Amino acid sequence: MRIILAVCLPVICMCFACDSELVTDKVTGESKLVLYCIPSNTSDTTFIQLLWSKPLNGNQVSERSIAGTMISFCLNGEERAIESADKLAGHRPENTFYTVGTLKEGDEIEVRVSCPGIPVITARTIIPSAFPLEKVEGFSKAILGQTAVGFRITFQDCATTKDYYGIKILCKTLPEESTQREACQSTVKSLALNVESEPLMNDKFEVDDIFYLSNDYYRNLYIYEDEKISGQTYTLNFDFMAQNTSTSVSGKVFYKVVLFTLSKELYKYLWSVNRLNNNELGKVGLAPIYKKYTNVVNGVGIVGACNIYETEWMDASLFCK
């Protein structure tokens, strides 16, 4: 069983974590069954999690069980075996299941869940095409006397399809004389990016600046679509303040660029999460409260796929002088 810990599991688990507050549409409605499944090309293990949403009216509800629930995972019309994740090493969220088998571009996935007392819930997705990368360039520059790291990501968008993308920058620091074991155990973190000069990612309007409203991206996964650049060769530009450099006493710094092609469902879900999290005016009653997108029929949650490409770890000293 091959699981890519640095990239794949954070992507899978990000949706598990962000919906603990999921609610029903009706104030007096009962909780709904929540389904999460984020298939990708980077692992031979696909996780499925089930839980119950919370009522919108805030009323306390008794814990509901998923006893007797049947889960079906179909790949291109062929059903795969489902196992409980309790059998796997390491901590997993409750009611998590998994299926084993590699996935590739164009694979069609359907997840069906039959739970006693409620209608069958279903959702579908397709593994999208690989990220159309041409080149990655790293550079450094000075901002107000401090060192910033920038990246230019050049890619060729397809003119005949509607595409959805994402990017995440990972960072790790190693002692100058680190052992192989220390390198494997080093902490990897994602970085917040400055995307104000990148039109595909900067969704702020003039009123946002007036009220100092945020344009944050959940878990530092920066998503965008190709509506403005359909069929073009395009270069993303963004930067972030350097964590430190290779001459720092804390050790050598390495960066990794992780590039995503997202299914339409997953993009719409993440976009709705960002809009909800950035809705400061809605939180104080000055704007509507947005709902999170779902493609789960008779339930809530998300079944959405992604195709992931990651660069090798890049020594920051190569472009941070």
Each residue's pLDDT tens digit, 147-172: 889 999 999 999 999 999 999 999 99
Residue 268 lies in a domain: no
Q: Are residues 254 and 185 in the same domain?
A: yes
Phi/psi-derived region of residue 176, left when phi > 0, alpha when psi is between -120 and 50, beta in every other case: alpha
pLDDT score, position 205: 43
Predicted confidence (pLDDT) per residue in 173-213, tens digit: 887 766 555 556 678 999 999 998 899 998 654 444 444 44
Is residue 37 pLDDT above 90, yes or no?
yes
Q: Which residues pair with 141 in a beta bridge?
A: 148
Predicted confidence (pLDDT) per residue in 87-130, tens digit: 787 767 889 999 999 999 999 999 999 999 899 999 999 999 99
pLDDT score, position 249: 42
Q: 243 pLDDT band (50/70/90 cuts)?
A: low
**Prediction pTM value:** 0.85
Q: Are residues 142 and 85 in the same domain?
A: no
Q: Are residues 140 and 85 in the same domain?
A: no
Euclidean distance between CA atoms 319 and 246, whole angstroms: 10
Residue 87 lies in a domain: yes
Give, as one character, the DSSP assignment of residue 207.
H
Residue 247 lies in a domain: yes
* Domain range for 100: 8-127+274-279+291-304
Q: Are residues 166 and 296 in the same domain?
A: no
Number of domains present in the structure of the chain: 2
- Nearest partner of 10 among 292, 256, 180, judged by Cα: 256
Q: Are residues 161 and 85 in the same domain?
A: no
Instruction: CATH number of the domain at 31, please.
Output: 2.60.40
Q: Are residues 188 and 295 in the same domain?
A: no
Residue 76 lies in a domain: yes
Euclidean distance between CA atoms 113 and 129, whole angstroms: 27
In whole angstroms, what separates CA 272 from the centre of its chain? 12
Is residue 304 pLDDT above 60, yes or no?
yes
pLDDT score, position 90: 75
Q: Are residues 26 and 77 in the same domain?
A: yes
Q: Are residues 175 and 117 in the same domain?
A: no
Q: What H or E segment, with its residue span, contains residue 225?
A: strand 222-225
**Angle at 241 (CA atoms; ends 306, 309), nearest 5 degrees:** 20
* Cα separation values, 289 from 204, 281, 285, Å: 18, 9, 8
Q: What is the dihedral of CA 95, 110, 19, 56, to 10 degrees?
A: -100
